[in-house]
Amino acid sequence: MSEANIRIYINDSLHTVAAGTTLAQARARFCVGTATAILNTAVNPRPETVLHEHDRLYLFAHTGTYTDTDLSALMLERQPREATVKLRGACIGIAGAGGLGSVVAENLARAGIGRLVIADHDVVEPSNLNRQRYFLRQLGLPKTAALANTLRECCPFVQVDAVQETINADNCVRVFGSCAIVCECLDAAESKAALVTALRRQLPDVPIVAASGLAGCGSARSITVRTVSDKLYVVGDQHSDSAEGPGLFAGRVGIVASMQAHVIIQLLLEQQI
């Protein structure tokens, strides 16, 4: 190859262009009509920006129709590619699909986790809608099936295994045995304690990201990640109990759920928690 050429990725395909090629020139050559350009995760940098060897350029033409391959790449173009590749190879278990689980599932699906195993026995009820990611049209449906449908609408490349069962010590290995990490998203304190204990004993190498203390309207600053060991993390304020009547609000429950999803992504990307 001539030294006057460089190789860049355009929509994940390797192309050879002349050294000194600008974004505007690449856009004119590789894309017809208007398009959003994303260069190494930056949106629409200046047209005169000069491209470099191994740059990653995505040209998101505003046609409204995409091939599957393009869509998969385009949806995750704001994440570093190395992270996306790691997340795509992961399988995560989610025990419970309520206020925590439905938010954790959406966060992980949007980040491009390859496979989610979601277990819950419940159906969608009106009282869920103040904080759980369901819709009026899904009232009465099993939560796992409803959530799987929602995730297919926003993230069609994520495989979702919907397990319509009450998760407990007897079935947790069968359900979550193939998962790299399990997220505890149950409601009752006794169920949480029993599941975490069972998972830690029966799947000792699988990290668990649990939640405790998310009820009411207390300060968001009181919510932390407690590292019990390198196999058990607990997100929450550790004391706000829904059984004492403070209520459950979308914001605070969602903060805990998003922190659980974040810890899972950190673990998969081998980041310091």
Give the C-alpha separation, 234 to 184, whole Å: 9
* Binding flag, residue 122, another protein (CB under 8 A): no
Q: Where are the alpha helices (DSSP H) in 160-208?
A: 172-176, 189-202
Among 61, 129, 194, 225, binds another protein (CB under 8 A): 194
Task: Decide whether 43 or 228 has the Cβ nearer to another protein.
Answer: 228
Among 67, 127, 229, 272, binds another protein (CB under 8 A): 229
Q: How near is the Cβ of 169 to another protein at its closest, in Å?
A: 9
Work out the widest C-alpha separation in the chain, in whole angstroms: 72
* Binding flag, residue 222, another protein (CB under 8 A): no
* Binding flag, residue 46, another protein (CB under 8 A): no
Closest CA to 187 of 216, 207, 169, 212: 212
Per the CB < 8 A criterion, the answer to whether 97 and 124 are in contact is no
Quick check: helix, strand or coil at residue 98?
coil
Task: Decide whether 59 or 185 has the Cβ nearer to another protein.
Answer: 185
Q: How near is the Cβ of 243 to another protein at its closest, in Å?
A: 4
* Binding flag, residue 84, another protein (CB under 8 A): no
Per the CB < 8 A criterion, the answer to whether 198 and 174 are in contact is no
Contacts to another protein from residues 99-118, by CB under 8 A: 99-101
Among 186, 259, 261, 267, binds another protein (CB under 8 A): 186
The residues near 247 (Cβ < 8 Å, ≥ 6 apart) are 215, 216, 217
155: tokens are 């993230």
* Binding flag, residue 273, another protein (CB under 8 A): no
Give the C-alpha separation, 39 to 44, whole Å: 7
Residues that bind another protein (CB under 8 A): 96, 98-101, 185-190, 192-194, 196-197, 200-201, 204, 210-215, 226, 228-229, 232, 234, 236, 238-243, 248, 253
